[in-house]
Amino acid sequence: MTQDLFGGRSWLDEPAIVPAMSAAFLSMMDVHAVLALIDAARQLPLSAARERERATIAATLAPSEPWTLSSLREAVAGDVVPRARAFLKSLAAEPQVESLRGSARSIR
């Protein structure tokens, strides 16, 4: 992260960047936590429309170009993380997912 977002600068050499680096680290953790769940949802039997929605969110959370401070700020300030969370919550109502939940209960 320090290489991509801070050009290799170190908070040890520049203590003034600690607040910005800490904020970026927390933002990146949030993005990656949601991305891990979005990626895991790929294993679910989603409809084609829901899979497209999942893939669109995943592409936004894992852009082809490396993150920059401004792109990370925009992503976190925008709606992608809340949209991803809403998508994940909505999966609980999917009939295919509900049937999996029932199967998982019977395994215990």
- Mean pLDDT per block of 10 residues along the chain (108 residues) reads 79 88 90 93 92 96 89 88 92 72 44
User: How distant, in Å, are the alpha carbons of 9, 41, 46, 53, 89 from that of 4?
Assistant: 10, 28, 34, 28, 32
Residues 6+ apart with CB under 8 A from 96: 44, 45, 46
**pLDDT number for residue 56:** 96
The number of domains in the chain is 1
**Domain boundaries, position 74:** 2-107
Tokens 């829901």: give the residue: 50
Write the single-letter amino acid at 103: S
Q: Do 51 and 35 meet the contact criterion of CB atoms below 8 Å apart?
A: no
Q: What is the pTM of this model?
A: 0.76
